[in-house]
Amino acid sequence: MDIAARRSANPDHWKLASAIRVLSMDAVEAANSGHPGMPMGMADVATVLFRNHLKFDAKAPNWFDRDRFILSAGHGSMLIYALLHLTGYEQMTLDQIRNFRQIDAITAGHPEYGHVEGVETTTGPLGQGIATSVGFAIAEEAMRAEYGEGLCDHRTWVIAGDGCLMEGISHEAIAMAGAQQLGRLIVLWDNNDITIDGRVSLSDKTDQHARFAAAGWRVLSCDGHDPADIDRALTEAANGDGRPTLVDCKTIIGFGAPNKADTNKAHGSPLGKDEIAATREAYGWTAEPFDIPAEIMSAWREIGTRGAAAHDEWRARVDALSTEHRDEFSRRITNGVNPKLDEAIAAFKATTRDEKPKVATRKASENVLAALNPNMPENFGGSADLTGSNNTKTGDMGVFSAEDRMGRYMHYGIREHGMAAAMNGIWLHGGFRPYGGTFLTFTDYARGSMRLSALMGLPVVYVMTHDSIGLGEDGPTHQPVEHLAICRATPNTLTFRPADQIETAEAWQIALSHDSAPSVLALSRQNLPLLRQDIDQNLTAKGAYVLREASDSPKVVLMASGSEVEIAVEARDALEADGIPTRVVSVPSMELFRAQPAAYREEVLPAGTVRIAIEAAVRQPWDWLLLGERGTEAKSAFIGMEGFGASGPAPALYKHFGITTEATVERAKALL
């Protein structure tokens, strides 16, 4: 690469792109940690994108109708931090750049949503950015169909690297985007042919052009260091033909570094002072570290204002709406809680109390959604090819497709990980509250994206049915035993396992009114009786509560969740018949119970009693309730699973594994 020729061919562009490169080199060097090569290689592409194509207003980072820019190759975080600083995002000061990767700085090692405005989603694990971007594009299409181009008319631009395209989730993402014909989604592939281990050819020979084309994408190419060619490709990409677009940007990692460019030495470690000095000389850059000459900074700041006029015009269109429509639009794009939610849940609970249905909680969930969805246009449902099993589609919901963007139900296909990532993107875009279903055991497949839901504090809802050995004949591969423990162990995640239709309704009420954590609804396949009669308050919100009181001061406390609460109630009745005062505590959400005041927890779980926990899963998450909270080893027991399940009818399995009323009564008497 003739650096001198590149410099002289387009000096204005060269200076702008060089500002990104030197800030990236300097920040990584100061931190003695980071990935300088990717920002150096993609600086030309990013400069053309922000200068000529991206619709944004640096003074209004959260403007709804902005283009979304997602750096899927999150290890190259200094690219986005440099762009935010140069274009004038208020939060991204030079001091933050200087403190790259340091504690309390907003310039984390990988871009973190919520740390700094301008970062649309957390992109640490490779592939997550491109997968989440599918959700952004889905939400944009759906909101544009509902509100019109005057209020929603933007694109989603993604920079992805070789690693993003190798990760399996990328296959799910590009297949979904192609099937849905998400024409506003444009992925810029940083095709530099380098991974941490070395050349891409060490581990991969995929023809990415053929791969994307086969999935229904349009594929374009450009020289990633020629601004005119980049502009041509991005212009063509923006003038879409209805298909999502991949732009192959051929780049050189560590561009301009004399000894480390085009090698893995520029990937994951600082360049070193001598290499940086030689690179600056090649760039013709004479300013001190972290110093951007005023002329260049001024040009970048002007780029940051390029979208201000479009923002003002959009604001005028919003202001022209009637007060009612403007307020509703504002609520939708900020993901505000629906004011009809509480009233609808109260009415549903009253009907449930009167009718006393005996239904599986997966069916109870469908019944709740049937009552809510017609009045909550923000609910956007879906399933990973298990609609009839997850019961996630209600009659009022059309199917979202390339032919019908007004549909609010998504057939995600057999793509649990991609579904979860897309739901994150739908929430982050604004306008919809996404929920999606699969079997609880397949949280294993969705785990990476579910963890990011929790990390980002996104209140998406995971409808996870077939929650125990109670699913029966499908056998141990489909019977979750450790998955409740995994969900409960994940920070900032609400895990609900309701015992009947009333608890299911209350779990949905919490999930759809929460604003900072995802919810997992673990729902049964087998029918369960209605156990609750008290509907005056949301007792599920307390996490655990007394469902059946003892006839006298309790000697035994039986704790259970979900389908095993019925066993606890039956055991309680048997023990009471034998003169043993027994209390039943339903535990639909351990996280919410842990958050209750100590006095309430002590009231529910008094000291000195026998305690038995019953759950068709592993014991681990119950130990804090059995041995902590004033419990003792000598007076506690767990009735549940110690290993994997088996294939057979649900009643036979419960008897085989000793999760029965009789076993509970026997254990209680033995402990007494």
Element spanning 248, H or E: strand 245-250
Single out the residue of 557, 536, 569 nearest to residue 601, CA to CA. Answer: 557
Q: What is the C-alpha to C-alpha distance for residues 638 and 559, in angstroms, rounded to an integer?
A: 9
The dihedrals phi and psi of 269, each to the nearest 5 degrees, come to -155, 160
Going from the C-alpha of 222 to that of each of 39, 51, 79, 193, the distances in angstroms are 17, 17, 20, 15
Q: Which residues contact 663 (CB under 8 A, 6 or more apart)?
A: 639
For Cα atoms 80, 81, 84, give the angle at the middle one, nearest 5 degrees. Answer: 85
309, exposed or middle or buried, with CB in 10 Å at 0-12, 13-18, 19+? Answer: exposed
User: What is the C-alpha to C-alpha distance for residues 1 and 611, in angstroms, rounded to an integer?
Assistant: 73
Cβ–Cβ < 8 Å for 591, 494? yes
Q: What is the rounded distance in angstroms from the CA atom of residue 481 to the CA atom of residue 618? A: 6
- The residues, ordered by sequence, that sit 6+ positions from 394 with a Cβ below 8 Å of its Cβ are 366, 369, 370, 373, 374, 381
Beta carbons within 8 Å of 133's beta carbon, 6+ residues apart: 68, 70, 72, 156, 158, 173, 185, 187, 425
Q: What is the number of alpha carbons within 13 Å of residue 446 lying toward its C-beta?
A: 32
Q: Decide: helix, strand or coil at residue 463.
A: strand
d(CA 652, CA 672): 29
- Tell me which of 275, 328, 416, 564 is the catalytic residue: 416
Rounded Cα gap, residues 653 and 563, in angstroms = 14
Q: 366-401 burial, b for 16+ CB within 10 Å, e for fewer?
A: bbbbbbbbeebbbbbbbbbbbbebbbbbbeebeebe
666 is catalytic: no
**241 vs 53, 198, 236, 290, 351, CA distance in Å?**
17, 36, 9, 42, 50
Q: What is residue 165's three-state secondary structure?
A: helix
Within 13 Å of residue 521, how many CA atoms lie on the same side as its CB?
39
Region of 564 on the Ramachandran plot (φ > 0 left; ψ -120 to 50 alpha; else beta) = alpha
Q: How far is CA 478 from CA 177, 441, 527, in A?
A: 28, 6, 18
Known catalytic residues are: 416
